[in-house]
Amino acid sequence: METLEQTLARAAVAAPGAQLSVVKNDSPCAQHSLLVDVEHAYAVAKFLRDDPQLRLDYCSNVTGVDFLDAELSEKVKVKKVVDGVEKEVEEVKKTKRAGYLEAVYHLYSMALKHGPVILRQRTPGRADPVKVTSLTPLWRSCEFQEREVFDLYGVLFDGHPDLRRILMWDGFKDYPMRKDYAEPDDYEYEPTPHDEVLEKAKAHLPKAEVKA
Amino acid sequence: MDDGLRNELSKQGVVVVKLEELYNWGRKNSVWPLSFGLACCAIEMMAASMARYDLARFGAEVFRPSPRQADLMIVAGTVTKKMAPQVVRLYNQMPEPKYVIAMGACAISGGPFKQGYNVLKGIDRYIPVDVHIPGCPPRPEALIHAFMTLQRKIDAQKLTGPDRARHLNADLPSEFPVPLFGEHDLVPSKNPNVWRPAVVVR
């Protein structure tokens, strides 16, 4: 199977205007993924499915990822004059990164017995509306899993035939798998609390006990 | 009547019992459970009703598919918040006298999913539970033990007096409010008339 860079080059030709990049995975599994912009996701996915060399006819998994606003620190070597002598000094450069949500697709080929090719779509931010393109018209197996991502992460899928909550009830307002989800406080009775649960249970203890 | 006279009469073939004893004896040996399971504990419940563990020895082999014919609800498995209203509704549709066994860690407290966003922390927050069984899942023997505990409880129930059984006391409720789906949690998140958290002493 060709490398992801080769796939990217051919996909860029097949879907003109698509902004594609490779997201590196430095862990030993080295499963790099293909990041595609939301506008051209459908065209790129269609290319991945129909291209005779790839024929990724099976979408095994759709999931969501939540990235909070973060401050990234990076070590940069800077030339500085220290005590009259020019030296190379390491400095920590901090950059702020706005949070975003991702929808990740794992694609396999049943016909050619290869895979996975991992496709990512990224939203511009975490605030509503967070829209990506639904790939259900290409792979039917995405339907329920995109609904699950919508249910738990609040990602809206443009072009999904039936985007409703699937696990939680319809009137539910929260997105429980987001990192800033605040669960309902029902820690009134914790016979053996520890760590986080202990902190939450303390709010329900009589005040005299908290001091002790 | 003292025990000596009763013993003497039984030797002559005359059996003397109180009506209460006869009534409870009949009830405790014909407890029909509602056949519904929520998770893996239900597999153990099925095993308990099959030939190897043979729940029929206790008169409880007739699992009823309708709440209107059932006396006992075995809450076997994880009660999700989405399922909780239906469980309470099933309980409300059962006729008195009715009993509840909460089977397994999930049904009594939420179990391993306790800190999740979607699991009820024990069905005893909405309906009165007679016997709790810990275990994940409890073995069929544990269910049988719970069943025998329930039988002893039924045997001890009074027919008259201020502490008479609930189904004979019109002042006590036999139905409990069904929780609604709220925006963040079930509304209400517990029924304070049924469930009062025990005071934790540390």
Is the confidence at residue B91, as pLDDT, over 70? yes
- Chain B residues inside the 8 Å CB shell of A188: 190, 197
Spell out which chain A residues touch chain B, with contact meaning CB-CB distance below 8 angstroms: 167-174, 176, 181, 183-184, 186, 188-191, 196-197, 201, 205, 209
Model confidence pLDDT, tens digit, residues B166-183: 888 888 888 999 999 999
Is the confidence at residue A211, as pLDDT, over 70? no
Model confidence pLDDT, tens digit, residues A63-120: 999 999 888 888 888 877 877 788 888 888 888 888 999 999 999 999 999 979 999 9
Q: Are B79 and B38 in contact (CB under 8 A)?
A: yes
For residue B202, give the chain A residue with the closest CA: A209
Helix (H, G, I), strand (E, B) or coil at B85: helix
On the 0-12 / 13-18 / 19+ scale of CB atoms within 10 A, B25 is middle
DSSP labels for B94-152? SPSS-EEEEEHHHHHH-GGGTTSSSB-S-GGGTS--SEEE-SSSPPHHHHHHHHHHHHH
Pick from A178, A186, A199 the residue to mutate for testing the B interface (most B CBs within 10 Å). Answer: A186
Q: Could you tell me which of A150, A181, A177, A187 has the C-alpha nearest to residue A165?
A: A150
Interface contact flag, B117 A190, Cβ < 8 Å: no
Model confidence pLDDT, tens digit, residues A2-21: 888 898 999 999 988 889 99
Tokens of B142: 């544990």
Model confidence pLDDT, tens digit, residues A159-207: 999 999 999 999 899 999 999 898 888 888 888 888 888 888 888 877 6
**pLDDT level of residue B155 (50, 70, 90 thresholds):** very high
Average pLDDT over residues B11-39: 91
Q: How far apart are CA A174 and CA A154, in angstroms?
A: 8
User: According to the model, what pLDDT value does residue A108 have?
Assistant: 94
Average pLDDT over residues B96-102: 93
For A61, the enclosing helix (H) or strand (E) is strand A58-67
Partnered with residue A65 across adjacent β-strands are A102
Q: Could you tell me which of B57, B68, B59, B73 has the C-alpha nearest to residue B126?
A: B73
Is the confidence at residue B201, as pLDDT, over 80? no
Q: How far is B184 from chain A (nearest CA, A)?
A: 6
User: According to the model, what pLDDT value does residue A143 have?
Assistant: 93
User: According to the model, what pLDDT value does residue A210 have?
Assistant: 54
Q: Give me the interface pTM, i.e. the ipTM.
A: 0.78
User: According to the model, what pLDDT value does residue B71 have?
Assistant: 92
Q: Are strands A100-109 and A114-122 parallel, antiparallel or unpaired?
A: antiparallel
Interface contact flag, A176 B198, Cβ < 8 Å: no
For residue B190, give the chain A residue with the closest CA: A186
User: According to the model, what pLDDT value does residue A94 have?
Assistant: 86
Interface contact flag, A171 B182, Cβ < 8 Å: yes
Edge-first strand listing for the sheet containing B131-133: B33-34, B72-76, B99-103, B131-133
Tokens of A145: 């899993």
User: According to the model, what pLDDT value does residue A102 have?
Assistant: 93
Interface contact flag, A197 B184, Cβ < 8 Å: no
Residues in chain A: 212
Is the confidence at residue B80, as pLDDT, over 60? yes
Interface contact flag, B200 A190, Cβ < 8 Å: yes
Model confidence pLDDT, tens digit, residues A20-43: 999 998 999 888 999 999 999 999
Spell out which chain B residues touch chain A, with contact meaning CB-CB distance below 8 angstroms: 82, 115, 117-118, 121, 181-185, 189-190, 197-198, 200, 202
User: According to the model, what pLDDT value does residue A155 have?
Assistant: 92
Is the confidence at residue A128, as pLDDT, over 80? no
User: According to the model, what pLDDT value does residue A184 have?
Assistant: 87
Is the confidence at residue B202, as pLDDT, over 80? no
Model confidence pLDDT, tens digit, residues B50-66: 999 999 999 888 899 99
User: According to the model, what pLDDT value does residue B180 have?
Assistant: 93
For residue B183, give the chain A residue with the closest CA: A172
Mean pLDDT of chain B: 91
Is the confidence at residue B140, as pLDDT, over 90? yes
Please measure the distance between the N-terminal and C-terminal CA atoms of chain B and give it in whole angstroms: 49
Q: Could you tell me which of B42, B58, B24 has the C-alpha nearest to residue B153?
A: B24
Partner residue opposite B183 with nearest CB, options A171, A186, A205:
A171
Peptide bond into B162 cis (omega under 30): no
Residue B16: other Cβ atoms inside 10 A:
10
On the 0-12 / 13-18 / 19+ scale of CB atoms within 10 A, B74 is buried
